[in-house]
Each structure stands twice: as structure tokens, then as C-alpha cells.
Structure 1
Amino acid sequence: MTDTPARLLNLLSLLQTPREWPGSELADRLDVSPRTIRRDIDRLRDLGYPVEASRGAVGGYRLVAGTAMPPLLLDDEEAVAIAVGLRAGAGHAIEGVDEASVRALAKLEQVLPSRLRHRVSVLQNATVPLTRGDGATIDPQTLTVMASAVTGRERLRFAYRAGDGAETRRQVEPYRLVSTGWRWYLVAYDLEREDWRTFRVDRVSDPLATGARFAPRELPTGDAAEFLSRSMSRIQPRVAIEVSFAASAEFVGARLPAAIGPLEPTGERSCLLRTVLADSLEWVAVRLALAECEFTVHRPPQLVEHLNELGGRLTRAASSAALEG
């Protein structure tokens, strides 16, 4: 292999697998001399890749963690796997999949060859994810367009459907995407209304980055998550919730989204949730039902009513299934 850039890329691809490579094996793989391998290793180090060498009969080279992350090489299978995983998480606002993940997805999809983009779409369309949200799914392409506009500071146009069904066209300066663990929101400056707004991303359609750049404005609260929280409080009244669980805080915490509130241990196998939320009590009832342990709702009484209704529907559904069987 006489093409030095191509050889360096192939060498880097080999080194990015988690193992140590003897110099002789690398030379055989790339059809060059061990001396050429040593020179190429020095070139990679100059480019910022921390390649460690060990001496001895079984010595070799391996890539180690450094202080910065240089460009990462992925083969076709790895790129498809990462894109599918990020798309699945982004489309359902899974807890922990935040704006950084969506930015990574936007970058990855921008450079994926068409044959790999097709494979990603086929895999996603053939997969039905099991989610614990309210069913509000999002086209990942909508998120990647928004994330790219946020990063590039480009004005964004889109159609928006409000909670009452009214449809409008918006042009905004996008500031941040925020995931609450069950929904995605866009915090942006609405140019027509000349004010800051939050938009539920699952109500957005046909987003388009206009290419027009803008200088970032100062958000009133200085933090997108705080701004979203205040906006939701104005739209929907906040409700105090208190629930005790017959399981440890660690057990319950692994089954409830962190955004629902902190858990207070009250014993080795018990804990208490005290929180104030501006979300629908129907959603809270569903999340509590998925906690996989016994629990008691102390307040509010409306949450108990939602749980009774949910339990009744589930019981009727189970009875119907038993009769048909």
C-alpha cells in the first residue's frame, strides 16, 4: 500500500479496536515494512492520536485514552448501529438522550453514505420500540434539522400545531433543544411575536433551516431548562404529589424518570416521593404503574382517581382477553 493517507486511515481503523497490535502483524495487514509502521505511528501521534508502544517479544501498539478526542473512524456496521441507537432514543425522548446526542446524530447522518442511510432507515422502520412515555414520537430528521440549526445559529421555519389544534407557520432563532425524559421541546426566539417561546417538537412539521445566520440573544433566565420549566408552569398548574413506595430508592429510581422528582429513602426497602409537577396526572399515573412495586398515593386525590381509572381499564382488558381465549 503506497498511498500514505489511505494507509494511515487503515492503520488508525485497526488501532481503534480494543486490543494491542504487534508491529509485525500491522505490517502484514498493510503490506508494508515494520519500519514504515513505526513512521506511521509517529505521524498519528503528531496528529494527536495517543498511541502507546510496549517493548519486548510480544510488544506492540495500542490506542489509549488521551486528553482530547481526535477524529473517530467507524466501519459500516458500527456507523449503522450508532445511528439506529441514537435515532431510537431521539425519536422517543428517552431519558438521558439529550441535545448532545441529537447533535451527534446530526453530524453522523450528514456524513453517512446514501447506502448506509438507507440501511438505517430500513432498520428503524422494521423496529417497534417499547417505550414508557405518552406515545408522542418524533421523526428523528426533525430533531437533527433543529439541532443543526441550533449549532449553526441558523434561523428556522416550521409549521406548528398548538394544543387546541390551531396551525401556524413560525420563523424562529433556535436556542436549545431540551428533553424532559418523555418529550422534546425547542426553546427559541419567535421573530414574529418578538418574544421567547417553547415548542413541543412532536407538534412541529416541515422544519427548514433558512441559511440566515443570527447573533444569539440572551435568554431571560440564562438557562433553557429553567425557562422551559417556568413556561410549563404558566401553561399548566403545578400539583404537589406525595407517594410512598414499598421498595428501596435505588430500585424505584431505576424505574422512574429523574425528572419526576427526587426519592427520599425512608427505610431499607421503602422510599418517599415528594415533588411538584406541571405535567398531566394521567402521565404520572402511567409512570407510577410501571414502578414494579407496591406504592401508596397520599396526594393529590385526582392522581388516585386516574390510577383507579387506569386499573379499571387494565382489568377490563385482561378480562376480555381471558374470555376470548
Structure 2
Amino acid sequence: MTRPTTRVLALLEILQTGAAFTVGELARRLGVDERTVRRYVGHLADLGVPVESRRGRYGGYRLAPGYRLPPLMLTDDEAVALALGLVAGERTGLTAGEGVAAEGAAAKLRRVLPAALARRVDSLLATVELTAPRRTAPPTGLAAVADLAESARARHPVTIGYTSWQGRVSERRLDPYGLVFHAGRWYVTGFDHDRAAVRTFRVDRITAVAAGTGTFEIPEGFEPTATVLAGLAAVPWKYEVSVVLRTSLAEARHRIPPSVGTLTELPDGVRLVTRAEHLDGAAQMLAGLGWPFRIEHPTELAAEVCALADRLRANAT
């Protein structure tokens, strides 16, 4: 490839970022004069690439919005990072619901890689091991995620069709404050006009997203992730568990994520309020923490803790 052709492709790669650049900026990046930059832009125009120009002191060039570039130019490191990202996304459940899209992207990437680089990527993917457990997430339409994200960024309300875990179907008017990906699932949180309160919805249970009119403001200091995790911790279970842990609030927060339960500082320790479907799991969690504790309720948890201790003693002999 001749040097001018290489620089024309380098110009195209710079413009792919979507930003506007002055002629001077482009000249410095390419190591040529401004007249040569204009000639390169002409070459791109001859190839059918729609480069828009702006006149004036701060004029320059940018690609026409919405233009889909035929070539995808990646460095070797970028190609490897993209391949690993697809694998990691599938392992964590991020792309599990869109397996066809993920597999298609991986196949396209593999086809356009040079032979030497393709062999390196194949070797890496064949030998790499990930310690994160494989998660199977329910299907989540990327279109719904994109629609909600766009509305959240523009602060436009939406109307969603939603199916609850009990199977109830409803239509909800929502101000989407933010999207959160947690434990293999997408969640959207925001103000639910029909309940007059902040609510969290699983995106895989959303059947439709329709843009509404008007705008909204996000409350100052609102944190979508903290809201989603707190909401998950409040999901009703068979038992509500309250124990006082003999430790500091800082240590408890370091060991116990917000999705497990709520923590409250007390004069003699930290109260953990959580929920459990089976008390043997709660007993195992308390044993794993390793701190002395006092059970407030339910009283049945004390029997489960004693039973666990008996099993551990029996297994240690």
C-alpha cells in the first residue's frame, strides 16, 4: 500500500470517531500540510464517503451523521480485545439473550482478520479460561435496551408493556432514570407514574416500549445501581431475617453487597436485614462471614445454625 493511500485510510479512521476536526488538526495528526488534507478529503469523496465540510475560521470536516462505513479498521490489539469482549459478554450473560447477534459479530470479525492475526485470536480463545461462572440469562431484546437508553439520555418518558413475575400484564408510564446490568439481567429504574413512586423493571419482561411526550428531571443524587440493588434486596421471600453482626459498618459494607440486604449501624454492631427462602442458606451465609452474631428473628434460624454446626463437626472428624 502506497504512503498516500495509507494516509487516506488513516484520515478515514480519524473521521470514524464521529467528531468534527479542523483542517489544522487533521494535518497535525497525519503529518501533512492542510492542502494535502483537502486533497485526501477529495479522494474519500471520489470513493463515495460523504465527508461534510464547514467553512469559516473554525471550519473543518466530519462524516455525515448516520453513514455506515464499509471497512472496519482495527489494530491487532483492538481485534483481540473485541474477540475477548464477545466471549466475556457471553459468559456473564450479557449477550446470552442475543446469541445470534453475538455469534454473527464474532463470525464477521473472524472472516476479516488477516490469517496470522486470526490464528492468534483462535489460539487465545481456545486456551483462555474465565473464572466467572457461566450465566444463562433470559432473552432481552437489544432494541428495548437501546430504546430505554435513548429515552433515559434524552429524558423523555415512555410507556411500557410489562409482565410481572406473577404473570400479570400491565401498561406503565415510566420516566426512565437509568439502566443497570446486574447478575446476567438488564433492569430499568425510574419514576412509575401509575404507582407514583420509583420502581425497577426487568427489561426481559418488557413487551413493548413506546416513546411519550414531554421531558422529566432526574432527582439530584439519584443512583440507578444503588436503587436496583436495594430493590432486589427487598424482593419478598418466605422469611425476613434480622441479625446483629459484631463488626463495624465499614467491614460489613465491604463484605455484604447491597443486593443481599440492608445494613444499619448500632451501638453494639451492625443490623443486617435480609430475606431468605430457605433458612439453611442464611445459616451458611452467617457462618461464612465469620463474625459473632445475635439472631433477632426468625427464631427458627437458631436451630438451623445449630444444625449446621453439628454437620460441620461431624464432617471434620
TM-score (norm 2): 0.45
